[in-house]
Structure 1
Amino acid sequence: MSPSTLSTTKFTALLALAVSVAAQAPTATFPPTALAEKHFSYPTGIPYKVDTDQGLIRGFQHGYNICNSTTENQHSLCQTSFLNAIDDFCLWAPDLPESVVADTEGEMVAWCTKPGKGTRLIPANALKGVQFMRTPDYVQVVGFIDQSKINIKGDDYGGEMDPHGADLRGNPMGGLIFSNAFSGGGDNYQQVIEWHNFMGGNAFCLKVCDPAGPNAAHFCEHRLDRIGCAYNAPNNAQNGTFESCLGDNQDYPGVYTDPAGAVHTYTQPPEEEGAISTMPYQPKVPASSQCTTLTSEVLYKALATVTAAIDSTITSAPTGVPTGASGSQPGPGGASRPASGTGSAAGAKGTDNAAVRETVVIGGVMGLIGVAFAGLLFA
C-alpha cells in the first residue's frame, strides 16, 4: 500500500470516527416533556426512571424512581421523595460525601426520616431543630441540620432544588415528590407538581404546594434561588426546637407591600451582576397557631441507629433491580455538569440563633438569622 493510500485510509477512518462520536454526543437541551408536566400515581404508576430522554446536554438521570426494600440503604440512589409531616419527610442531598450543592443539584438523592420508602435515612442526631407548617395552600418543613451527615460539605452554603431547572428536567433530574398532606393522610399519596428545597449552611427548607391549588406555582416559586428560605419560605424555625404548627399562607415569594401600601414584585438580578448586597424589602412571616412542641427522640426514633454512608467509592445502586422495575441498574457517576450552579453562596455566614433578626450581606447573597445559605435562610 502506498503512503498516499495509507494516509487517505487513515483520514477516512478518522473522519468516520469523528462523525460517529458527533452523532452520539448530547446536542439537545430541552426534553419533549418537562418534568413538571409528567404525572404519576404512587406506587404502581411510577416508571423505573422518570427521565428517559436520550442525547440531552446534562446526560442521564443519576438514580431511579422505583424504590422499595431492595434499595433502602445508605447508598441508595432513590430519587422519589416525600413531605407528609414533621416526623415524615425527605430532603434532597448528594450521593457522595463532601459534595457541594451547586455542583450536584442535578444528581441529588432522597434522604428520609422514616424507613419503608426505599431511600437513604437521615442519620441519627443530624436534625437539630425542625418546624413543620401546614397552611391552606402548602406545607413546609424548615430546620437546622448537620449537613456533613448527609454528604454536603460542611462549609457549603448551598443552593436550591426544584422540579424545573434551566432545561426543565428538574434538579435533581427525574426527582419526584409525593405527599399525603392534601389527600387525607395515610397511604393516599399525591404527586406534588410544584415544590422547592433549599439546602446548605447547616439548614434547610422544603415546601410543597397543593396540587389542586390554583396558585401552587406562585407559592412554590422556583426563580428566586439566590435569596433563600427567608424570602421563599418565611418561618420562625428555632435551632433546638421541634414543633408542628398551623399557619397562614405567606405572600408569594418576591411579592411585597411597601409602607405606603403599594404592592411590588421583586426581580432577582442575574448572577453575572455579582453579589446581591441589598434587598428592597423584608419578608413577612405568616402568623402561626396551634403549635405542638415535640422531642427529636420521639419524632425520629427510627433513626437512632442510622449512620451516614462514608464509603465514597460506592457510587452505584444496590445489587439487583428494584422489585417491579425493568431495565438495568444505573452505573457509577451521574450527568456531567458545569463547575458551579445557581444558588451557590460560598462565604455566606450567619448566627445560630433564630431570634436574631439582623441580616448580613456576604458572598453574593444575603444571610438572615439562624444560618444563611443560598441567601436569606430564615426570617
Structure 2
Amino acid sequence: MIAIYRFLALMFAFSALANCGVVYRGSKWEADVFERRGLRARQASSSSSSSSSSSASSSSSSASSSSGSSDVPAFQYGTADPNYPGVQATGPNGDTNPDEPSLNTPINQTSVARLASLNSVDDWCTFGPLDNTQTLGDVEDRTVAWCTKPRNNARVIPDGTVTAAHFVKTPLYVQVMARGDFTKIGFQEGDTGGELDPHGATGKGNPVGGNVTSNVTGKDVFYEEWMNYVGSTIMCFRICIAGSDEAPPKTECQHTLDEMGCWNIMPGNYEDNMFETCDADAAYPPGIYVSDGSTSSFQQYATGIWTDNGQIKTYTNGVSTQTTPTTAMSTPSSSNCQTVSTIANGIKSIIPTSSSSSASGSSGSSKGGAAAASSSGSSGDSSSGSSSDSSHNGGVASVRPAMVPAMVAAAAVLLGSLVL
C-alpha cells in the first residue's frame, strides 16, 4: 500500500507542476488540430510507477454494477476532511447565477443560469446545451444548467427525459449517474457529448461562470472541484465534498481524461429503469490502476499546437502506440440503497430549437436528466466560475516568478516519492 501512496504523491506533484503552467493542454478552439472530439479522438495509456501499464480488465469489475470488486483493495484515502484545502469554492459566482441555490424559482426554459446542485436522486442538475443547433463539444463554454426541480433560476428537465438515476454519497464526493433521452434538453441525436469542469481550456471554466453546490452535509455549500460528463443518452456528475493528503479534490475530481467516458471515470451503477440512493466507498482517482501491488496511470493521447509569446509550438500528450483501458479498474462497494419508483416532476415542456425560443412548462417535483459522454474536455487552473490566475491565457504559456515556489515544492514532492 506504501507504493500506492508514493504513486499518488507523484501524481499530485505532476498536477502541481501542471497548475504552474509547465504543462499546456491547448485551447478548445484548437479541437481540429488536437483531434480530440468524437470518433477522431485517440487515447493512450502510459505506465507511471509500474514497468508495464496494468490492463483495465486484469483486476476489475464491471462499471455497470454497484456490487463492488472483490479482487481489488478498497481505496485507502486517509481521513476525509470537508475543510481540506481546495474543497470549498473560493472563486466568484458566475454573472448569470443567483447568489445562493434555492428551490421553486420561476421556470424559464431559455435561462442562461449556470449554477448546478447535486442534492438527492430527485434534486440534481446537469450542464447542457442552450439549444440543439450544435453538438456539446462545440459549445462547452456556453452550456447552461438543467435541473430536475425548478431551482437556481435554471432550466427544468421535463418529464420523460430521465429513465434512470443513481445518487451516491461517499466520504469524498457525491455523484449522480443517469440514463435517458437528453435530446429533450437540447442534445442532438447521437451526440457523444463532452466534459464540463471548473477549469476549461482558458481557466475560466466550462461553462464560463459555472458553479456547483450540494447540501448533503446539511447545508448548501459551494464546492471547488467537480466534473460533469453528458451526452444524448447518459450523464454522470461528481462533486468533491472532502479531501485528504491521499486524495486531494483535484485528484479525486480529475477532469483531463474526458475521452474515457462515465463508466471509466465515474464507475458505479448505470442500470436503466431504476431510481436509487446509496452510500458508497470512494473510488480510486480517475486514471489510477492498481494490480499485484503495482500502480500505473493512463493519459489521453493528443497532439496540437500552442502559442508562446507569439511563437507557434507543438506538443504531444501520451504515446500513440499504447493501448487505452476499456473499463474502470474497480467499482466501489455500495450500501444502504433505497429505490423510488419515479422522480417525475409533473413538468412537460419543449426545448427551444434556438437560444431565443421559449418553452412552456408547469411547476412540480422532479424527473432529472443528464447524460455522460466520452468526448471533449479541457483543463485549466482557476476556481469555479473565476478567471484564471495561471499562464493559460488564450494559448500563451509562461512560468511566472510567483510560480517558482510552487514548482520547487512540487519538485520536492516528486523527488521524495522517487527516493522513498
| 3-state SS of 1:166 partner | coil
| 3-state SS of 1:266 partner | strand
| 3-state SS of 2:164 partner | strand
Structure 1 residue 125 displacement after superposition: 1.1
Deviation readout 1:221-244 (Å, 9 max, x if unpaired): 111111111221011220111111
- Give the match for residue 144 of structure 1: 179
Is 1:208 paired with 2:259?
A: no
Residue 190 to residue 254, structure 1, CA distance change in 2 (3 Å): same
RMSD across aligned C-alpha pairs, in angstroms?
A: 3.1
Is 1:342 paired with 2:390?
A: no
Is 1:279 paired with 2:314?
A: no
Is 1:39 paired with 2:124?
A: no
- Give the match for residue 269 of structure 1: 301
Residue 126 to residue 70, structure 1, CA distance change in 2 (3 Å): closer
- Give the match for residue 287 of structure 2: 254
Unaligned runs of 5+ in 1: 1-28, 30-34, 41-45, 50-62, 317-340, 345-379
**Aligned mate of 2:278, from 242, 245, 248:** 245
Cα distance in 2 for residues equivalent to 1:142 and 1:39: 27
Structure 1 residue 313 displacement after superposition: 5.6
| 3-state SS of 1:141 partner | strand
Do the aligned residues in 2 keep the contact of 1:95 with 1:315 (CA within 8 Å)? no
Do the aligned residues in 1 keep the contact of 2:87 with 2:240 (CA within 8 Å)? no
Q: Which runs of 4+ in 1 moved over 3 A?
A: 35-38, 63-72, 211-214, 271-278
Residue 308 to residue 223, structure 1, CA distance change in 2 (3 Å): same
Structure 1 residue 116 displacement after superposition: 3.5
Structure 1 residue 76 displacement after superposition: 0.8
Structure 1 residue 117 displacement after superposition: 2.4
Unaligned runs of 5+ in 2: 1-26, 28-85, 305-318, 359-374, 379-420
Equivalent residue runs for 1:309-320 within 5 Å: 309-312=351-354, 314=356
Cα distance in 2 for residues equivalent to 1:161 and 1:343: 7
| 3-state SS of 1:197 partner | strand
Do the aligned residues in 1 keep the contact of 2:130 with 2:355 (CA within 8 Å)? no
**Aligned mate of 1:89, from 99, 124, 127:** 124
Residue 245 to residue 168, structure 1, CA distance change in 2 (3 Å): same
Deviation readout 1:55-77 (Å, 9 max, x if unpaired): xxxxxxxx445587776311111
Cα distance in 2 for residues equivalent to 1:96 and 1:117: 19
| 3-state SS of 2:127 partner | strand
- Give the match for residue 223 of structure 2: 192
Structure 1 residue 169 displacement after superposition: 0.5
Do the aligned residues in 1 keep the contact of 2:126 with 2:147 (CA within 8 Å)? yes
Number of matched residues?
262
Cα distance in 1 for residues equivalent to 2:301 and 2:122: 37
TM-score, with length taken from structure 1? 0.62
Structure 1 residue 282 displacement after superposition: 4.1
- Give the match for residue 210 of structure 2: 175
Cα distance in 1 for residues equivalent to 2:296 and 2:166: 29
- Give the match for residue 260 of structure 2: 227
- Give the match for residue 305 of structure 1: 347
TM-score, with length taken from structure 2? 0.57
Cα distance in 1 for residues equivalent to 2:294 and 2:326: 13
> Which has the larger Rg?
1
Cα distance in 2 for residues equivalent to 1:95 and 1:255: 34
- Give the match for residue 11 of structure 2: none
- Give the match for residue 3 of structure 2: none
Do the aligned residues in 1 keep the contact of 2:88 with 2:241 (CA within 8 Å)? no
Do the aligned residues in 1 keep the contact of 2:87 with 2:223 (CA within 8 Å)? no
Deviation readout 1:321-344 (Å, 9 max, x if unpaired): xxxxxxxxxxxxxxxxxxxx8349
Which piece of structure 1 moves more, 116-125 or 207-216?
A: 207-216
Deviation readout 1:96-148 (Å, 9 max, x if unpaired): 12431101110111100111421110011100111111111101000102110
Cα distance in 2 for residues equivalent to 1:107 and 1:275: 35
